[in-house]
Amino acid sequence: MDMVMLVVAADEGIMPQTKEHLSVCRLLGVRQGLVALTKIDMVDDEWMELVQEDVREYLSGTFLANAPVVPVSSVTGAGLQQLKEVLSRLSSTIKPRSSMGRFRLPIDRVFTIRGFGTVVTGTVTGGQLAENESLVIMPGNRMCRIRGLQVHGAKTGQISGGQRAAVNIQNIDKTLIHRGMVLARPDSLPETNLVDADCFLLETASKPLKNRAPVRFHSGTAEIIGRLILLDKEQLLPGETGYVQIRLAEPAALLPGDRYVIRSYSPVFTIGGGRILDSEPVKHKRMNNNTVDYFKRLSSNNIEDRVTAILESSGIFGLSESGLERRAGSNDIPLDDLISSLKQKGAVQEISGSIRYFITTSNWKKLKNMIVKQVTQFHRTHPLRAGIGPEELRTSLKPAPTEILFDNALSQLVNDSKLIEKANQLRLADFRPNLTSRQKTVLDAMLQKIKKADSDGMTRKELLDIPQSDARDVKSVFQYLIETHLIQRLPGDLFMQKDTLGNISDKLNELFDSNETISVGEFRDALEISRKQAVPLLEYFDSIGMTIRKGNVRVRNPRYTGTDS
């Protein structure tokens, strides 16, 4: 609210509800207003003087301390013209709401109009909206299209921040919408059950606020039951401000900078409120210096401090451009200028891909160190493996980073020669497989067996049958032979030595020198092998692009220039 009119009845004076209304305005950050002293026809002049004095005394020290107090009577009409003049004068000094940034309309009413369908009403908090745009109702992300707009009963083609509006929407039933929801553009708001905030407990609160206290959370038009986690105090005393995390029983569509009010669970009284600092937070440790320092930076008026704190809290995941804009919470942040400044200071890295990501330099180094450490650990666990595949490496990291950040970090590590990538396997630059004496014995036995099998090949079961050898050594050596291409797996679980495949490949080329097509039988007879070996071999040559199958025969692939290794 930009301005309020506090109404006090002259025949009753300051009442409990008046006090609560003033407290709510204070918690919502209202800075301007006036007082309408009503029912003056019900009291005499002496009583009027006492009431005005009482109102002035009560409002001292509040944002209405110097506000105009206008006595009025709706019965006689006394003072009404003056009230209008004061309202006009004060409202002319209000700065217009920005039409830039995110459009939001917290819904306070929903109904249907015959011939038009579903209508929602509310006050636009910022941004602009035109007819025929597609929006979402949150929470729930239900898509709808704008059919018509009205401001104070007058049809309009566009609405903007600060206006009271009615929005006629299509493609969504009235029963799916209720007070507390928000009309917004897709992906412009998060849905959250968790918010970080500062919290002021009113001096009028009857008792301290304890950790994990249940409260009624009010923001926009939503009322949600929540639980308050005190982060920097064991309890919050009346008149104190603290940092809190509020865990909501239902999702809400909120942004940093939003004001909120909390009321006691039972009996229901307004007890405090404050500002949302982060609407997509992580959980924090209570009574922790790092947590307190983070909240101080998060609540800072320095936007660079706030953004850096948010990026630091995002860890190795960083934040996408839209995610950073949401969590920074301002419609007017010149993001490119801000990021450019932080990059020049060496505080932030920009990672470009299908979308832009931002990560603090410290978290970027942490991610790269995690990758190197994980590859090192992989070598210790699998000393005979040539390396680890990129996706296996990414998912083995705990937590696993996003693909864009991981791929860019990997590229830098390879470019800096910290890692070597070969055949889609990653290893440390100085890593070499190191066989133990027992493993060397197993290696010799396997190579002798598969060499003796020649073009007949061997099955996995036959190859792994190394008597009097440790099963783990046999498995490790087998994997080593595969990754170093000393043996090659063919379709049908058949394995052959690399040199044997090279000889067969040469013979196949000799056959093609005198034949345009080769059948399975011709291949089998030429190599003097069985069909059991011939079929997997030809399928293997198909798979590496050396041959092309056409019906029941193969032809040479003229584009093939590689080898089977």
Does residue 160 sit in the same domain as residue 195? no
Cα 309-365-194 angle, rounded to 5 deg: 35
Q: Which amino acid is at 527?
A: L
Averaged over successive runs of 10 residues, the pLDDT of the chain (565 residues) comes to: 94 93 94 96 94 95 95 96 96 82 92 91 92 93 94 93 93 92 92 96 94 96 97 96 97 94 94 95 91 92 89 92 81 74 92 90 96 94 87 92 94 95 90 85 90 89 89 87 87 89 92 92 91 92 93 91 58
Does residue 38 sit in the same domain as residue 114? no
Instruction: Quote the pLDDT of residue 564.
Output: 45
The residue range of the domain holding 246 is: 191-292
> Does 196 reside within a domain?
yes
DSSP of 457-475? -EEHHHHT--TTS-HHHHH
> Does 30 reside within a domain?
yes
Whether 160 contacts 124, CB under 8 Å? yes
**Single residue among 184, 199, 222 that ends a domain in this structure:** 184
Identify the CATH number of the domain in which residue 50 sits.
3.40.50.300
Does residue 156 sit in the same domain as residue 120? yes
d(CA 314, CA 455): 56
Structural domain tally of the chain?
3
pTM across the whole model:
0.76
Instruction: Quote the pLDDT of residue 555.
Output: 94
Does residue 210 sit in the same domain as residue 229? yes
Assigned token pair, 459: 């099955």
Does residue 217 sit in the same domain as residue 151? no
> Does 453 reside within a domain?
no
> Does 431 reside within a domain?
no
**Single residue among 277, 292, 307 that ends a domain in this structure:** 292
Does residue 142 sit in the same domain as residue 219? no
Identify the CATH number of the domain in which residue 159 sits.
2.40.30.10
d(CA 371, CA 419): 10
Please measure the distance between the N-terminal and C-terminal CA atoms of the chain and give it in whole angstroms.
72
**Which of 106, 166, 157 has the alpha carbon at shortest distance from 128?**
157
Q: Would you tell me how many other CB atoms lie within 10 Å of the CB of residue 95?
A: 7
Assigned token pair, 316: 């190795």
> Does 430 reside within a domain?
no
Assigned token pair, 68: 């105009």
d(CA 318, CA 307): 12
> Does 399 reside within a domain?
no
Whether 377 contacts 422, CB under 8 Å? no
**Single residue among 133, 153, 184 that ends a domain in this structure:** 184
d(CA 513, CA 556): 9
Does residue 66 sit in the same domain as residue 121? no
| Cβ contacts of 476-482, under 8 Å, gap ≥ 24 | 476/382, 476/383, 476/384, 476/439, 477/384, 477/435, 477/439, 477/442, 477/443, 477/446, 478/446, 479/382, 479/384, 479/385, 480/384, 480/385, 480/386, 480/433, 480/435, 480/443, 481/443, 481/446, 481/447
> Does 505 reside within a domain?
no
d(CA 84, CA 204): 33
d(CA 286, CA 348): 28
Does residue 198 sit in the same domain as residue 180? no
d(CA 208, CA 269): 14
Instruction: Quote the pLDDT of residue 565.
Output: 43
- Does residue 399 have a cis bond before it (omega within 30 degrees)? yes
Does residue 20 sit in the same domain as residue 51? yes
Does residue 207 sit in the same domain as residue 173? no
Q: Regarding beta strands 4-9 and 33-38, do their DSSP bridges make them parallel or antiparallel, or are they unpaired? A: parallel
> Does 554 reside within a domain?
no
